[in-house]
Amino acid sequence: MDVSFTVSKWDEKPLDHTSKEFPINIAHVEYDIEGDLKGKAFVEYLLYYLDSNIDDGHLATSKISGFLHFEGTYKGKQGTFTAIEQGVFDKGNLDSPATIIKATGDLEGLKGSYNYNFSGQTSKMILDFIF
């Protein structure tokens, strides 16, 4: 199953402004999610840039690691979950498989994973969830 999302916030800064040998940025990100999974996700990413394009960050390549915290509903059930993500952002394409590590509220017991799929202007999360 897939759901659509939009990036409502992307605030990214270098972790250390003084070291060119440590090209890690931290990004505070928010997603608005629509579909069977509906709500807001708050993500903290660490990005290690392998290839950088100063003029257009979407053309860069980086290893990423992060935590996503979701608040909202899944198939009408209210709750939250936290997932861990790890992967690669490569020239506009995010391949960052994620696994749920904890769920609360009516979503307690939710297990599974997701990944991202970008097609044209559409951003989707491909869900593989079970109760």
Length of the chain: 131
Cα Rg, the chain, nearest whole Å: 15
State how far the Cα of 76 lies from the Cα of 117, in Å rounded to an integer.
24
Single pTM value for the model: 0.90
pLDDT confidence of residue 3: 96
Query: Which residue range is the domain that position 101 belongs to?
Result: 2-130
Give the whole-angstrom CA distance, residue 49 versus residue 62. 4
Would you state the pLDDT for residue 72?
98
| Counted domains in the chain | 1
Q: What is the pLDDT of residues 16-61, one digit of tens each?
A: 877 777 789 999 999 999 999 999 999 999 999 886 655 566 678 8
Q: Which CATH number do you get for residue 55?
A: 2.40.350.10
DSSP 58: G
The pLDDT assigned to 93 comes to: 80
